[in-house]
Structure 1
Amino acid sequence: MPAGALLLLDAQGAPAGLQAALVGPAFDLAAVEAAFSRLSDLALGRPAAQAGVPDTPEFAIGLLIVREAMHHLFLHHGRWQEDAAGDSADDPRRPASGQTVSSVK
C-alpha cells in the first residue's frame, strides 16, 4: 500500500461495539491493538464488563479482521464511513487528494 493509505470501514455494517472500541470516527493501529489486548483479556478469564469490550463472536471476528487487514496491508490509520453510498467530492469523510483507501464491509 502507498504511504498514507488508510482503511475505510462501513460503520453501518460493523459488529456492535466495534466502533466504540476503536474510539471515534478515526483510529490508528495503536487503538486497534489496545482493543485487541482487551479482547485477549476475555480469553484469559477477565469479565467482559471489566475488559470493556463486547463478549460476542461477531465483535471478536470483526476486530480480528480489522487488525489483520491493517497489519498485512501495512496500514496505520483508519476511518469510519457512516454512509457507504456517500461518495461526493465535498464529503469530509472522503480521503484527501492522493490518499488511497482500502474498504472493508
Structure 2
Amino acid sequence: MERLFVYGTLMKGQRAHDLLENSKYLGKAILKGYRKMDLIYYPGIVKDKNSIVEGEVYEVDEHTKQRVDVYEGEGYLFKCIDAEINLNNKPIKAKVYEYIER
C-alpha cells in the first residue's frame, strides 16, 4: 500500500473518482511548492515555490496504482513523484502526479 495525493478528476465527486473506489480515504491535504494549472480537460500541477495545491489523500494498493498510472498517462502526460504533503498538520510522504511541461 502507498499513499496517493490527488487534486483533480480523481477527487470525490469528480469523473474519475471511481478508480479509487477500493481505496481508503485518509483526508484532505496540502501540497506546498506547486500550483494547479487548468489544462482544459483536467488540471495539472507544476513547481511554484510560492503556491500550494489542495487535494485528498488515499491509501492505494498496487493494482489501483497501476490503473491510475494508465489513466494519468504516467511517463507521457504526467510523472509520478514522491512528495511531502501536509495531512492533518503533519508532514507525510505520498505519490503525486506532476504535469510534464512540453
What's the TM-score, normalizing by structure 1?
A: 0.29
TM-score, normalised by the number of residues in structure 2: 0.29
**Higher alpha-carbon Rg:** 1
Bigger relative contact order (CA 8 A; separation at least 6): 1
Structure 1 or 2: more strand by fraction: 2
